[in-house]
Amino acid sequence: MTSRPAASLHADLVAVVVSVGAASASADQGPMVLAAGDPLHLPAGPLRTDHHSLQNGARAFVAEQTGHTLGFVEQLYTFADLGRDGSAGRAVSISYLGLTRATADAGWRDVYALLPWEDRRSEISIALCRSLVRELSSGSGDATERIEHLFGDGDLPWRPELALQRYELLWEAGLVAESPTASAGVEELTGERMHSDHRRILATGLSRLRSTIQYRPLVFELMPPTFTLGELQAVVEALVGTGLHKQNFRRSVEQQALVEPTDDTSRATGGRPARLYRFRREAIAARGQVGTKVPIPRSR
């Protein structure tokens, strides 16, 4: 019996590093991700025997390639589909989600420029979603219910945490540049192509982050030592890509005792001085599984 030659196999670590920049109450700020190159790629590197653990390896690659030191790091998913990098072999990517506070240096890219349908605070993005729903529905067959569920069409709510599922639906329909059935000019509609399936990995990271902040206080990894409640809400809105009701948000944060007031105020908004708050770390030590309890917004 003639044996078949073994397919090539290689493995690497990939990091989705997210920040929201300096906290401000600006309505149009959005999350940013570290990415570079042409095509854009996330920080990554091959598995190495000199790394004590996979997480340490991911941290090291981010530090070496971007100069950033990560705070929170969590393993995302292992991507190992045959031919996922366009070759006949198997490329295995072990991905991590990392959070850090942004600096003014280069390397940050707007997440919503790469996943433009995910920012529901923007009328342009909402119009894009409606256009994509029409495009998907025109060739959907029996997939109408799936489209409505993922894009919050009709009376169904928009669910921020389903970013990965929306990307995969668009990929299947050839409406993102990485899809093998994508038509010319699709990048102008749904964003820039990324290396291999790095945009899918980015969507995976966004889904995980949006889901996790509903029960763990990860948003504070992205905040400065003191902040106003308006700045905190703006950062959460940036991450989930939707507007939140001001009083409901503040009531939720105060009921969970996640923050405490300081004696200082801020005039950054240009109006009346706003009280500055800080994160109550002792509360999180006692209630490690508590988050910002971001309400799932109604679809628009």
pLDDT value of residue 25: 38
pLDDT value of residue 281: 75
Residues 99 and 158 in one domain: no
pTM of the model: 0.89
Domain count, the chain: 3
Among 85, 111, 137, where does a domain finish? 111
| Contacts for 106-110: CB closer than 8 Å, 24+ residues apart | 107/34, 107/35, 107/36, 107/66, 108/19, 108/21, 108/32, 108/33, 108/34, 109/32, 109/33, 109/34, 109/35, 109/40, 110/30, 110/32
What is d(CA 290, CA 286) in angstroms, rounded to the nearest whole number?
9
pLDDT value of residue 91: 84
Host domain of residue 276? 218-286
Among 90, 111, 132, where does a domain finish? 111
pLDDT value of residue 258: 85
Let me know if residue 211 belongs to a domain.
Answer: no
User: Average pLDDT for consecutive 10-residue bins of the chain (300 residues)?
Assistant: 61 94 53 94 92 92 92 91 70 92 81 95 90 83 81 87 96 93 92 94 96 85 90 92 91 85 81 87 60 51
